[in-house]
Amino acid sequence: MSKILDGKLLSKQIKDELKFQVDILIKSGKKVPHLAAIIVGNDGASLTYVSSKVKSCKKIGYNSSLIKLDEKISEQKLINEINKLNQNSDVDGFIVQLPLPKHINEEKILNQIKPSKDVDGFHPSNFGKMALGLETFIPATPYGIMEIFSRYKISLEGKIVVVLGRSNIVGKPISILMSNKGNPGNATVILTHSKTNNLVNLTKQADVIISALGIPNFLKSEMIKKNCIVIDVGITRVKNPLKPKGYEIVGDVDFDNVIKKSSYITPVPGGVGPMTIAMLLKNTMHAYIRKTS
Ligand code: GUN
């Protein structure tokens, strides 16, 4: 049995399911879902991620718009762009790619997004609903991780989950989702961060480790117990002159060694990354359905 949790394969299944729904809409003469993305500045990695989100829209038949804004744009002008999307009835959902330049207050920006179009699930009202277990948009990366457990039928009930990193995008929401009632859910979660003492004592007890640090090869096989399930959320670009692009994408996990000791593991690339895109598309379909029903 393969130990690899194949995010690329699952994401294709999810995108095929969405394409099937879009084809039905087209056949019945209806409008298709429309996802818009705002990106500020020229960060290579962020541009790549946003472009692949837009490309995936095209593949499954969604409309998409990419709004590229100057690095030096004022906070007010960015808010104006958000308001345009809030009011544009053709746009079902949109995202503002993070991180934003330092002169822009991220919290203020996320607060401006109309909650019914917030397909990232980052607006405080959507994040609050998620924490309460109410129906809402689940942030795409944690949603993708939950979907991996769901589609591979791996139960989290009673398991000890150690999450590395407390970001609002991954660490905090995945801790909440995995400890919520439900299946997958009902786990006992330990959320660790830069001030955690004796981290290795904790990781060695974990049945599941979710690593969302962005530190290449941080998690070594000595830090885990046998048969641990390892989910690698890291996607760091590391210079490598031998690669065609001059860099490679490296996860948080020392994959070649950790795979020998783990029961299941997500690869990088081809694990959580493609799932994030698939779940963003799924959230956009949810936004479309809620608006039209
Ligand atoms: N930056 C890294 N991950 C994400 C994400 O899921 N959404 C947005 N908007 N920005 C990100």
CATH number of the domain enclosing 167: 3.40.50.720
89 and 145 together in one domain: no
- Residue positions counted in the chain: 293
Ligand 1 contacts CB of residue 47 (under 6 A): no
- How many other CB atoms sit within 10 Å of the CB of residue 106? 15
Beta carbon of 169 within 6 Å of any ligand 1 atom: yes
Looking at the domain assignment, is residue 287 inside a domain?
no
Distance of CA 274 from the midpoint of ligand 1 (Å): 13
Ligand 1 neighbourhood includes 97 CB (under 6 angstroms): yes
pLDDT of residue 188: 98
Q: Rounded to an integer, what is the distance from CA 30 to the centroid of its chain?
A: 29
**pLDDT given for residue 292 in this prediction:** 86
Cα of 108 from ligand 1 centre, angstroms = 16
pLDDT of residue 85: 98
Q: Is 283 in the pocket of ligand 1 (CB under 6 A)?
A: no
Residue nearest to atom 2 of ligand 1 (CA): 98
Which tokens in the block code for residue 36?
A: 């818009």
Inside any domain, residue 262: yes
pLDDT at position 2, please?
85
Counting from 1 in the atom list of ligand 1, the atom nearest the Cα of 120 is 7
Residue 120 annotated to the active site:
yes
CB within 8 Å of 17: residues ≥ 6 apart: none
Compute the distance from residue 235 Cα to the ligand 1 centre, in Å: 12
Does any domain span residue 17?
Answer: no
How many angstroms separate the CA atoms of 73 and 136, rounded?
Answer: 31
In a domain? residue 11: no
Which of 97, 159, 232, 252 is catalytic? The answer is 97
256 is catalytic: no
Give me the number of domains the chain comprises: 2
**CB-based contact 209:224 (threshold 8 Å):** yes
Instruction: Quote the ligand 1 centre to 109 CA distance (angstroms).
Output: 14
In order along its 293 residues, the chain shows pLDDT tens digits of 689 999 999 999 999 999 999 999 999 999 999 999 999 999 999 999 999 999 999 999 999 999 999 999 999 999 999 999 999 999 999 999 999 999 999 999 999 999 999 999 999 999 999 999 999 999 999 999 999 999 999 999 999 999 999 999 999 999 999 999 999 999 999 999 999 999 999 999 999 999 999 999 999 999 999 999 999 999 999 999 999 999 999 999 999 999 999 999 999 999 999 999 999 999 999 999 999 87
CATH number of 109's domain: 3.40.50.10860
Q: Which domain holds residue 216?
A: 140-273
CA of 98 to the centre of ligand 1 (A): 5
Residue 98 lies in a domain: yes
Same domain, residue pair 104 and 145: no
* Predicted pLDDT of residue 233: 98
Model pLDDT, residue 145: 98
Among 51, 120, 145, residue to substitute to test ligand 1 (most atoms within 8 Å of Cβ): 120
Question: Is the distance from CB of 85 to CB of 94 less than 8 angstroms?
Answer: yes
Side chain identity, residue 54: V
User: CA-CA distance, 130 to 126, in Å (whole number)?
Assistant: 6
